[in-house]
Chains A and B, each alone.
Chain A
Amino acid sequence: MMLDIRDLQMSYGDEPVLEAVDLGVAEGEFVSLIGPSGCGKSTLLRAVMGLQKPSAGEVRLGPSRDEVGFLFQDDALLPWRTARDNVALGLRIRGTGKAEARRTALGWLESMGLGQFGDRYPRELSGGQRKRVAIAQVLALRPRLLLMDEPFASLDAIVRHYLTEDLLGWVEGEHLTVLMVTHDLEEAVAVSDRVVLLGSGPRAQVKGRWEIDLPRPRDLLSVKEEHEFAVTARALWDALSEEVRTPVSRRRPTAEAAAS
C-alpha cells in the first residue's frame, strides 16, 4: 500500500470538515478524488502531505515523505529564481551540488519542452509554461507518490488538455502512484484507475467508488469515445448531482407565501 488513510477526521477549529474517511491507494494506482467544492478534498491532500494535522484517525505512507511529490493548484514559483533554479531548488535542498542540480534541472526543463527557457524568471513565462516548470520541479525529485491538487484548474482548455496528456505520459512511463483532487469529472474518469466521490461538507464522507476499467496507456481524446467512459461518467454525474443539487420549486413565490 502506498497510502492508507483510516478513519480520518479533519477539523478547522471545532468544526469537522471531513469525517471517518477511509481511502487506500495501491502502488501504481491512479486515484482521483472528486466532490463538491469546499467539501474538504484539498484538506485531505494537505493531511497526506503533512501540511495539516488530522484531528482523528491516521495517514499511513508507504514511501518516506521525501518520496512524495505535491503539485499545487497555483503555479507559485519563487519569483526571484529562474526556471532552472526553481527546478534545481528541491535537488539543492536534498544535498545535490549546485552544478549538478542545475544540469539535472535543465534536463527536466528540456523534457518538458522548456529547454530554452531555463534563464527566464517566472514573470517572463506564460501560465502553461509556469505549470510545466512546477511539474519539472516536482518530478525532478523522482517521487514514488504524486499528490495533485486541481493541478490544471487555472489553464485554458487546450493548454490543459496537452498538459494532462504529457503528465499522464510521465505517470504511465514511470509507474507513479497518483492521488489527484479535481472537480472535473471527465478528466477524473479519463486518467484514473479509480474515482472516489466525497460528499458535501461539513462532515464530508466517502459517498462512492468507481473502478475505471480502461486499458493503459490511454489516449486522452479517444478514451472519451469508449462505452466504459460514457457509462462511468454518467454514473458519477448522477452521484455528484445528488450532492450539489439544491431542490427548487420553479414556481414564482406567491403573495400568501411571502406573507406567512
Chain B
Amino acid sequence: MNRATLWLQLRRTAALALVLLLWEGISALGWVDPFYAPPPSAIGGAIAELFVDGEIYKHLEATFGAALMGLFLGLAGGALLGFIAALVRPVAELLEPVMAMLNAIPRVILAPLFIIWLGIGIASKVALSFILVVVLTFFAVYNGIRDVDMRLVERVKTLGGGPLVLLREVYVPSVVAWVMGSLKVAVGFAFTGAVVGEFVASSRGLGYLLAFAQSTYNAELTFALIVLVLVFVMLLFGLAGALERYLLRWKYRR
C-alpha cells in the first residue's frame, strides 16, 4: 500500500468514526429516541451479546451454509448451462427465453413458492440463492462465449489447434474472465437469497433473527444484524476480489 492509498484509508476511517461519534452524541443528548435509532454503543453491545451467549453461531452457520451452497451451485449450474447453450443451438432456443424471463422479474418473489415446495428448512434458501445466482452466471457465460475474440480462435486454429485446444486455450479463459467480472455481484445475490428466504419462513439464520427482531420491535437487534451481514459480505467481497486478481493476473499485474 502506498502513501496515497494509506492516507485515503485514514481519512475514510476518520469520517466513519466522526459519523458514529455524532450519532452517539445525538443519542446521549436525547435528540432522537433510542427506541427507533439506538446509539452505536448499544448496537455494538447487542452484537457482542449475540456472540457472548453463543446464540448467533447456529444462525450464522445456517445463513452461510445456504448462501455458499447457493453460490457454488449457481456458479457451476450457470456456467454449465451457459456453455451448453452457447455451443448447442436448440438448447439456447429453449433456455434463453426462460432465463430472460427469470432475469426480468425480481426473483425473490419466488421465495414463497420455494417454501411451499421445499419446506422451511435450508433447501428452500439454497434454492432461492441458486436461482438468483444461476441466471446471472448463465448470461455472463453465454454472452462471454458468443463474444469470444474470433481472431484468437483463428490464430489457434492456424497453429494447428483442434476443438479441445480451442476450449482450453480460448473459451475457458474467456469465460473465467466473464464470470470473475460478475463474481462480486453473485456473492451479494447469494446472501440476498439466503437472508430473504429465511425472512419469509424459517427456524434459524440471520433472516430468521431479523424477522424476530422486527416482530418484537427490537431496533437494536435489527441494526446489529444489518451490521453483521454487512461485515460478512464485505469479507467475502474481499476474498472474491483476491481470487479475481489471482485468476486474471494477466489483466491486473502492474
Contacts and interface: CB of A to CB of B under 8 A. Distances in A.
A89 B159 contact: yes
Nearest to B173: A80
Contacts of B156: 78, 89, 93
Given A66-B160, A93-B159, A94-B160, A79 B250 contact: yes
15 contacts: A51-B154, A51-B158, A66-B160, A77-B155, A78-B156, A78-B170, A78-B173, A80-B248, A89-B161, A94-B160, A121-B250, A121-B253, A123-B251, A124-B254, A137-B159
Contacts of B170: 78
**Which of B152, B154, B159, B177 has the most chain A CB atoms inside 10 A of its CB?**
B159
B89 interface: no
Given A70-B158, A89-B169, A90-B160, A78 B152 contact: yes
Interface of A: 49, 51, 65-66, 69-70, 72, 74, 76-81, 89-90, 93-94, 121-124, 137, 141
* Interface of B, helix, strand, loop or mixed by DSSP: helix
Contacts of B159: 89-90, 93, 137, 141
A93 B161 contact: yes
Contact of B253 (A93, A94, A124, A137): A124
B47 to A, nearest CB: 43
B159 to A, nearest CB: 4
Q: How large is the interface on B (under 10, 10 to 19, 20 to 34, 35 or more residues)?
A: 20 to 34
B165 interface: yes
A17 to B, nearest CB: 18
A76 B155 CA distance: 8
**Which of A65, A72, A93, A94 has the most chain B CB atoms inside 10 A of its CB?**
A93
A78 B165 CA distance: 13
A85 B96 CA distance: 36
Contact of B151 (A69, A76, A80): A76
A72 B250 contact: no
B151 to A, nearest CB: 4
Interface in B143-166: 149, 151-152, 154-161, 165
A76 B160 contact: no
Contacts of A93: 156, 159-161, 165
Nearest to B170: A78
Contacts of B254: 124
Nearest to A65: B160
Contacts of B253: 121, 124
Nearest to A82: B250
B122 to A, nearest CB: 37
Nearest to B161: A93
Contacts of B177: 80
B88 to A, nearest CB: 24
Contact of B152 (A65, A76, A141): A76
B151 A72 contact: yes
Contacts of B169: 78, 81, 89
A81 B173 CA distance: 10
Given A49-B158, A74-B151, A124-B254, 12 more contacts: A51-B157, A51-B158, A72-B151, A76-B152, A78-B173, A80-B248, A81-B169, A81-B250, A89-B161, A90-B159, A93-B160, A141-B159
Nearest to B162: A93
A26 to B, nearest CB: 23
A103 B253 CA distance: 24
Contact of B250 (A66, A80, A94): A80
Nearest to B247: A80
Nearest to B158: A70
A94 B161 CA distance: 8
A243 B154 CA distance: 31
Contacts of A80: 173, 177, 248, 250
Contacts of B155: 72, 76-78
- Nearest first, the 7 A-B pairs at minimum CB distance are A90-B159, A76-B151, A70-B158, A121-B250, A80-B250, A80-B173, A93-B160
A83 to B, nearest CB: 11
Contacts of B248: 80
A66 B154 CA distance: 15
Contacts of A89: 156, 159, 161, 169
